[in-house]
Amino acid sequence: MSATLHPDRESATLLARIVPLRGTSARRASLMVERSLMVYRRGWVIIVSGFFEPLFYLLSIGVGIGALVGSVTVDGTVLEYTAFVAPALLASSAMNGAVYDSTFNIFFKLKYAKTYDAILSTPMSPGDVAAGEICWALLRGLIYSTAFLVVMLALGLVGSPWAVLVLPAAVLIGFGFAAVGVAATTYMRGWQDFEFVQLIVLPMFLFATTFYPLSTYPSALQAVVVCTPLYHAVELIRDLTTGLVDGTLTIHVAYLAVMGLIGLRVAAGRLEKLLLT
């Protein structure tokens, strides 16, 4: 009997291996976004504040220090320093929006408000909750990125038609970081564990080619930087806004997509393990 597997079931198992989530529907997951919209209808200020951080960096470092530095040479092309830094800050803001929403907010709902316990008593599945919350977090990142892109356009920092792909790229960046953020949050024991988030996010922000090109590092350090997710996010956006697009673009996209899918799968599995015991 066991040798004659049902073909439908076999393909279903195969599908479950590729598409990581069982019992997840886009319609149900979107209800988590609907919930967040209800919550933030009253609290737009909280979201707006997240936009100013990268803007201030752009003004102080991009414009201020940019005046001292002048220009940067990337792959033989000379770029205004501001045009070099701005896309990196956009990538960082997509990351920050996603990371903050997917860590602090998720932890509160998971451990204190018991929000997900109530939701899982309905037809919603852990996969729906994980996908929906990741989706909201990446949307928050997307809001920051969009606002930032508008600023870049206004300051004349966008030099290529490839820039129409910046927002889809920001969605991908948000997805990668939000998914890993939610997954990591399910392992947090208390608020003190959030220090680790800072410990990872801040050095990445400072060193992942945000403020100077990769060639500044000795080759050993270059190898380390190239492994970080923000490096791929920064390079992806920078390629698009400067128009210096080559084959490495697909590597950046693949890195972030795989990161997001793994994060989503771990997040859903962990929520199930924590809440459906």
Partner 1 sequence: MSTAESGRQLSVPLASVEAVATDSADPPLVHARGLTKRFGEFTAVDGIDVDVARGEAFGFLGPNGAGKSSTMRMIGCVSPPTEGTLRILGRDPRTEGPAIRARLGVVPQQDTLDTELSVRENLLIYGRYFGMSRAAVRDKTDELLEFVQLSDRAKDKVEPLSGGMKRRLTIARSLINDPEMLLLDEPTTGLDPQARHSLWDRLFRLKQRGVTLVLTTHYMDEAEQLCDRLVVMDKGRFAAEGSPRELIATYSTREVLELRFGADADNKVYADKLEGLVDRIEVLPDRLLLYTDDGDGSAAAVYDRGLRPVSTLVRRSTLEDVFLRLTGRTLVD
| Least distance from partner 1 to the Cβ atom of residue 132, Å | 10
Q: Please say which residue, 192 or 277, places its beta carbon nearer to partner 1.
A: 277
Q: Is 275 in the site for partner 1 (CB under 8 A)?
A: yes
Give the range of 9-17, 78-86, 118-126, 225-233 binding partner 1 by CB under 8 A: 118-126
Tell me how far apart the alpha carbons of residues 63 and 54 are, in angstroms, rounded to a whole number.
Answer: 12
| Least distance from partner 1 to the Cβ atom of residue 236, Å | 33
Q: Under rule CB under 8 A, how many of the chain's residues touch partner 1? A: 23
Q: Is 28 in the site for partner 1 (CB under 8 A)?
A: yes
Q: Which of 100, 104, 105 is nearest to 144 (CA)?
A: 100
78 by DSSP, 3-state: which? strand
Q: Which of 3, 18, 38, 68 binds partner 1 (CB under 8 A)?
A: 38
Q: Is 34 in the site for partner 1 (CB under 8 A)?
A: yes
Give the range of 8-16, 66-74, 89-97, 119-127 binding partner 1 by CB under 8 A: 119-127
| Least distance from partner 1 to the Cβ atom of residue 77, Å | 48
Residue 188 Ramachandran class (φ > 0 left, ψ -120 to 50 alpha, else beta)? beta
Helix axis angle for 81-100 and 195-207, nearest 10°, is: 160
Q: Please say which residue, 115 or 222, places its beta carbon nearer to partner 1.
A: 115
Residue 120 one-letter amino acid: L
Q: Is 46 in the site for partner 1 (CB under 8 A)?
A: no
Q: Which of 96, 230, 79 is nearest to 158 (CA)?
A: 79
Q: Is 94 in the site for partner 1 (CB under 8 A)?
A: no
| Least distance from partner 1 to the Cβ atom of residue 191, Å | 17
Rg (CA), the chain: 20
Q: Is 120 in the site for partner 1 (CB under 8 A)?
A: yes
Q: What is the DSSP string of 88-157?
A: HHHHHHHHHHHHHIIIIIHHIIIIIS-HHHHHTTTT--HHHHHHHHHHHHHHHHHHHHHHHHHHHHHTT-
User: What DSSP character marks residue 72?
Assistant: E
Q: Please say which residue, 27 or 219, places its beta carbon nearer to partner 1.
A: 27
Burial class (CB in 10 A: 0-12, 13-18, 19+), 145: buried
Q: Please say which residue, 125 or 209, places its beta carbon nearer to partner 1.
A: 125
Q: Is 276 in the site for partner 1 (CB under 8 A)?
A: yes
Q: Is 24 in the site for partner 1 (CB under 8 A)?
A: no
Q: Please say which residue, 239 or 272, places its beta carbon nearer to partner 1.
A: 272
Q: Which of 2, 4, 121, 219 binds partner 1 (CB under 8 A)?
A: 121
Tell me how far apart the alpha carbons of residues 240 and 253 are, in angstroms, rounded to a whole number.
Answer: 12
Residue 77 contacts residue 239 (beta carbons within 8 Å): no
Q: Is 140 in the site for partner 1 (CB under 8 A)?
A: no
Chain residues binding partner 1 by CB under 8 A are 23, 27-28, 31, 34-35, 38-39, 113-115, 117-125, 275-277
